[in-house]
Structure 1
Amino acid sequence: MKDYHALPARQEAMRLRQQLLSPAQPVTGPHAGHAGPDPHVYDGAADQALIVRDLPAVAPLATLIDRLYHAMFTRHPYLRQLFPESMDFQRAHLEHAFRFAIEHLDRPAELAGFCTRLGSGHRRLGVLPAHYHVFEESLVEALRATAGEAWERETERAWVRMHRFVTGAMIDGAAGTAREPGRWRATVVRHELRAPDLAVLRLHPCEPFHHRAGQYVPVQSPLLPHTWRSYTLACAPAGDLELHVRCVAAGGVSEALVTRTAPGDELHLGRPDGDTVLDDDLDRDVLIVAGGTGWATARALLEELVRRRPLGRTVHLFVGARSAAGFYDDAALTRLEARAPWLRVTRVTDADGPDPLPAALLRHADLSDRTAYLSGPAGLVATAAALLRRAGVPDHRIRHDPFPVGPGPVAPSGPPPAPGGSAARGAARTAPAGFPG
């Protein structure tokens, strides 16, 4: 408990120090405070070059992360209670976060914007600014232990600057949403099994909950404390919420929601996020491509379009499933078709040949002048996005949620991805996690 009471005092000291430091003032050691570098001044590309150059010295990242958590929980045992019982997903999530940050360091303004939003979402986890300081100490200890005598202190300082840049933006994001709840409660009012591994849940928020059509939301089941997964809300803003959840792994949140949740149960929701949303001014026709439970995103967007009544605009939906039985929510789509004379629907199944959705898109002649919204399995979204780019659709008119940042070599990346990140994973998202967890 001594550590617990010391952390709030340290947090206040850090806050005061942050006020004294200029945002552009360089930080030179691991205990110099948490004022993050200004994205307009910070030379992220230089730090990226140093980190990438010496990344083999701290590889594999899984080992570095194991040492980091060991150091953090040894120094401050009480922090273990902020994490789920199984750390496997958390370790993988943190590795994704490191890779995402390193790959985007040469675009600091973009990285800062993402981390600001991430920090606002992390309030639901009980993360305090003081925890970032503890994490930094543990990171430095793990870097030194993993690299050994070959470790360059210049590279260590680049890691520290990267960490402070990320966490500075996250602290700003949390402060900007301090008037909001850290999490919202919602009661399950309906639970329908549409397939042995797929459920549609209707939720009634216990407090006002504001979101935009096409956004996703972190969800926690009381069956798995401290464990959150994100799902697209399959509805436009209008009272109750709807989730489409496919069970992807035994023992996870999706299994708990599909097989062990019933009406009357209470779930916790985090702050909604995501850029797969409609523009305020619909200045072009719309193309929507959805596969599997990616239909949740498409349904929310279509409900919003029905509400807006887009005069003079057309919407073409390509929706795919493995078989006709895979159109688990076809009754809702049929109702939307009846209400929207401007909507054209192309249903595609695996029986239509290899890569049926991309093949159907290729048969559609007028792709280049549309704004496209993509959702579904990562491979489908990546293929569809590449096809649209080849057809002349610019990146800013191809909308989808982020791919998980998978394992593999880290290197400076090319042009910025389309709004919302690099791709999507159907209704369940794995966006890069914040550094402290």
Structure 2
Amino acid sequence: MTTVITSVSALEILDSRGNPTVRVFVETDSGTRVSASVPSGASTGENEAIELRDKDNSRYNGKGVLDAVNNVNRIIAPAITGQPVSEQVHIDRIMKKLDGTENKSNLGANAILGVSMAVARAGAESAGLPLYRYLGGNTARRIPVPAMNIINGGEHADNNVDFQEFMAVPIGAPSFREGLRSIAETFHRLKTLLKNRNLATGVGDEGGFAPDLENNEAAMDIIMEAIEQAGYKPGKDISISLDSAASSFSPDLTSKYELKWSGEGKMNSDEMISLCRDWIKKYPIVSWEDPLAENDWNGFRKLTEKVGQSIDIVGDDIFVTNTKYIAKGIKEKTANSVLIKLNQIGTVTEAIDAVQMCREAGWRYFISHRSGETEDTFLADFAVAMGGGQLKTGSASRSERIAKYNRLLEIEMELGAMRCIIGRK
């Protein structure tokens, strides 16, 4: 018997930064009632799907989402009520058609994604399957390697570090829980080092420490020290992933860079590439996200040509989880990996399409949270369903980040008898 949607409704809630976001509830005729909450980014690509904000300065400094909530309640709900809950692709297409824009600026990507995620979760519940198995099939069993954000900078912190994320990545761990333990121990060791040097141990948006440092490279040096003091070998047990979020310090988003906070000064694209190559030689870096600005396609291509055989060059703002831009990147050999963010594109179906395009091209794809998160654990199941090799979901602090790690621990336990796999493909 087909299970159909009987009710869809939305609510304005708060995300981890205390800003409004959308929570959607879906009910079915089988008695299932689920919800899904939508994240929000701080450093966003100019081609991302648009999250709808009210711009009413009398509420939440203009960041309210009542318009998006109303679009769910008054426009989307009537259009999909009565639809089979298992028809994810069809339902996502209905919402795209209702919106009628390329970037979902009419109804809002936050409204559309909230419904899309809730429908997926309701479909899984109705099928009696965990979400990762519902979306990924019976063979979904790859637990991603966690890339734990341990130092925040850029748009995610009020410090003088230009680069946005410095992440510890376990290498060759026998299980997810052991890999998680090693980087959590490194995180705590880093806190001790910072305290001993009278540096701030407050955290940024994603839970990493946010000290003022002498320069960007000082962040790398203290992380290396923390890894060693935690009892691990850099490059053997734990390596480093970076997210420069270079668009945030590029005035033209194309070829000019100003590392003004930490004193490295103004650079052009070739000089940024040179900095990246020097760091890659000096430190155990396994992936580098957005090392250049979102319109610096030529710089991305040059860097990938030079170092793409040894590390993952990951496009985030340049690709925005959009198959249009990913296809261009594949054709022009702009990078070799893509960051997948559900709210960058706005539906579960389109995020899966982006993953499939990467698979077909032999590119890696990394699943990622946003800096404004909720306690929703959809992302953890989605990462396992997609079989991606790496997951970014924040630090070993802040409950909205820990919730995802804890869900992956549950999934690993569930998959124990199936010999789940941890690691990058």
Q: Which has the higher contact order (CA 8 A, sep 6+)?
A: 2
How high is the TM-score relative to the length of structure 2?
A: 0.29
Which of these two proteins has the greater Rg computed from alpha carbons?
1
How high is the TM-score relative to the length of structure 1?
A: 0.28
